[in-house]
Structure 1
């Protein structure tokens, strides 16, 4: 009996306290919403001064402050950021990864979410900045990273109300592009030295050998004309290709109809090469291709596609080689894709295929793709590559010419 009376008194007291709180909140002007994570309740006051106390939404209760919800819509915003942005929880598990980080590190974003950060970066835990922040509880500011992914990293820590770590955000300013530009500048300086110190002596030696080879009484005529002179010409060609990478081109350009260039001028060369190597050539051209033009040097652009064709021939697998040339129109640019079904390029070397003198072929100079990209850049365009076990795709984007 005493217990029931006590319970009734406590219930009555709770009702009075509830009424008091509601009257007190009613004196506050305006509308508001308050979430109490500890109690799991939400208090809301609307324009009519009605006060409602309800259970917190699950997404707020599980991660107060709307972090989960934010991580849901953040990709649409942070995918425009050209740097790496990764969120991890207190255990180092990835909860968010922007598209730039996924692209540069050659992963599928949807597959990397929920995995440990080491699976994304592929480096030891002690070298991972966000794990360092989790361990030490301190943020990193402008830390320079000097491994293969060169750049500047910053971390920020989001704390739970109880003082534990909720998230660590890592932002990585990817400087490999700047590093590549510095490498190209160095290549230019080296090329100038090569041109001055080697090219002139080679020309002199070649001229003297040519003179000797034309002498009837010279027993070494065949040696000069069949071996030494061709080798000097080959060396000179390497120097010329290298110079074309480092120096801006000053070639005359003209208006080129995209459809006619791809199917007629380029097509006659590609078709003859494809026939020679028993390869199939396909075109998937956007209808607007017939009406649009670019401004360029057709012989230089031919060199680009012939370089791509030779690479495809050398990457042929057991299946018959198939080459597809596809065009799409994007804003004021025409994108030309050169696609093959070869063995593909391994991810470990994919980022180096445009580097001067980088080659996996024993007899290759490693200048073909470097020269090709330089030609495209001289035309105001860009050239990129994607590859997997199903083949390789080179994408060339060129500005549409408007007279």
Structure 2
């Protein structure tokens, strides 16, 4: 009986010694410093950075109960950086600037949604690829790679390639001095530049509206008043030319004011696929038959689960402007227009593509500028007003063009809640 109890005791002691060694091994593997105080036992344990073994001491006065743990964690050294990036990713998605992390070889480890959306890539697919595949620029123009080459951060450098803005980089190093990550933040100044242009346009528009609109209204009123006392030929001239031209001038002023001044947007939850096929489709079909145009729809079925906040009438105006532009640029061959939708990251992309002659590269950068037009009778306000409407919907409007035709890309944010099924 005593032998059995002795064996059990030895077995228990061996088990406790094994558990104690297990705890010691665990503490050795902790890379960060800490200090733990157990007031109940009257003992302290402190581990400093770089030390494997902790220092254990005793309190001069033993308290009844309680414990206190203090950690000193260095995120860049004590945790795998991949875990930090996974934690930061949803936070950085809220930042309206481009934020990209790359390793010492220029391979992307983190890309926020703003950078992915503005460069037109799928955020998940670009992780693990070289930064040149995201930016579509030669290596010598990529500032982040220059930061790797020089092994030093870059402060507030102006970028003047296909992107216009300010870039900053910061470096995180490994213990051996090699580069662990380069963190790049790019602040686009295109919107600021457009805002400044529109502010100037707004001041000009206010003057135009006051100085020209009132005389136009007066002239139009007197023409209507006196025309019945004039010969038939003069009446016909007034009705067919003078009054329509005055109305056209007044319409130009109205369009310009709509571009320069923020308009009221009365939004509702709409399903974008339903809007394209029903509201827009009905309007375009009659025009398509009249002008012998083929219209094709290719819609992403996933968008049936989502909606966007939009003013339906204003969106219709945008697409009707694009449709009329395509008709006016029509060549001898049959004009084909393809309208497609796509769910991309956290936005909906709408493509309006034609097979027309395309826009020359020398003028494509100016097509959204107010009063820029290549048409003899054009005002140059249609595309400016269209982009303004899209921007008021918190979206963007871009254009791509080549020999095979022109494609306008409209991006709108998806409403966070699912549409009712």
Give the TM bin, normalised by the shorter chain: 0.5 to 0.7
Q: Are 1:238 and 2:233 an aligned pair?
A: no
Q: Are 1:322 and 2:317 an aligned pair?
A: no
Which of 23, 29, 43 in structure 1 is aligned with 2:24? 29
Alpha-carbon separation, structure 2, partners of 1:362 and 1:307: 17
Q: Are 1:275 and 2:289 an aligned pair?
A: yes
CA RMSD of superposed structures (Å): 5.6
User: Is the 1:358–1:366 Cα contact (8 Å) retained in structure 2?
Assistant: yes
User: Is the 1:323–1:340 Cα contact (8 Å) retained in structure 2?
Assistant: yes
Give deviations 1:91-148, integer Å, cap 9, x for gaps.
xx632273644553567885994476997456975xx644664565542334455777
More deviation, 309-318/339-348: 339-348
Q: 1:336 to 1:65 in 2, by over 3 A?
A: closer
Q: Are 1:194 and 2:189 an aligned pair?
A: no
Q: How does 1:337-356 map to 2 (within 5 A)?
A: 337=350, 339-342=352-355, 354-356=368-370
Give the alignment's TM-score, normalised by structure 2: 0.57
Alpha-carbon separation, structure 2, partners of 1:85 and 1:257: 31
Q: Are 1:94 and 2:106 an aligned pair?
A: yes
User: Is the 1:359–1:365 Cα contact (8 Å) retained in structure 2?
Assistant: yes
Q: 1:131 to 1:300 in 2, by over 3 A?
A: closer
Q: CA deviation at 1:209?
A: 4.9
User: Is the 1:105–1:121 Cα contact (8 Å) retained in structure 2?
Assistant: no
Alpha-carbon separation, structure 1, partners of 2:87 and 2:366: 31
User: Is the 2:349–2:409 Cα contact (8 Å) retained in structure 1?
Assistant: no
Q: 1:132 to 1:243 in 2, by over 3 A?
A: same
Q: 1:327 to 1:87 in 2, by over 3 A?
A: closer
In the comparison of the two structures, how many residue pairs are matched?
A: 343
Alpha-carbon separation, structure 2, partners of 1:213 and 1:123: 70
Alpha-carbon separation, structure 2, partners of 1:289 and 1:360: 36
Alpha-carbon separation, structure 2, partners of 1:163 and 1:294: 48
Please give the secondary structure, in 1, of the residue aligned with 2:352: strand
Partner of 1:53: none
Q: CA deviation at 1:275?
A: 0.4
User: Is the 1:381–1:398 Cα contact (8 Å) retained in structure 2?
Assistant: no
User: Is the 2:298–2:338 Cα contact (8 Å) retained in structure 1?
Assistant: no
Alpha-carbon separation, structure 2, partners of 1:369 and 1:226: 28
Which of 152, 155, 159 in structure 2 is aligned with 1:141? 155
Partner of 1:173: 187
Give the alignment's TM-score, normalised by structure 1: 0.59
Partner of 1:4: none
Alpha-carbon separation, structure 2, partners of 1:262 and 1:275: 18
Please give the secondary structure, in 2, of the residue aligned with 1:94: coil
Q: How does 1:250-289 map to 2 (within 5 A)?
A: 266-282=280-296
Unaligned residue ranges in structure 1 (runs of 5+): 1-25, 36-44, 46-63
Give deviations 1:262-310, integer Å, cap 9, x for gaps.
6666544321101012123345678999999999876545433321322
User: Is the 2:308–2:412 Cα contact (8 Å) retained in structure 1?
Assistant: no
Alpha-carbon separation, structure 1, partners of 2:330 and 2:118: 26
Unaligned residue ranges in structure 2 (runs of 5+): 1-20, 32-51, 53-76
Q: 1:136 to 1:274 in 2, by over 3 A?
A: same
Partner of 2:65: none
Please give the secondary structure, in 2, of the residue aligned with 1:321: strand
Alpha-carbon separation, structure 2, partners of 1:164 and 1:294: 46
Q: 1:117 to 1:251 in 2, by over 3 A?
A: closer
Q: Are 1:306 and 2:320 an aligned pair?
A: yes
Q: How does 1:153-168 map to 2 (within 5 A)?
A: 153-159=167-173, 163=177, 168=182
Q: CA deviation at 1:235?
A: 1.9
Alpha-carbon separation, structure 1, partners of 2:133 and 2:309: 46
Alpha-carbon separation, structure 2, partners of 1:226 and 1:129: 60
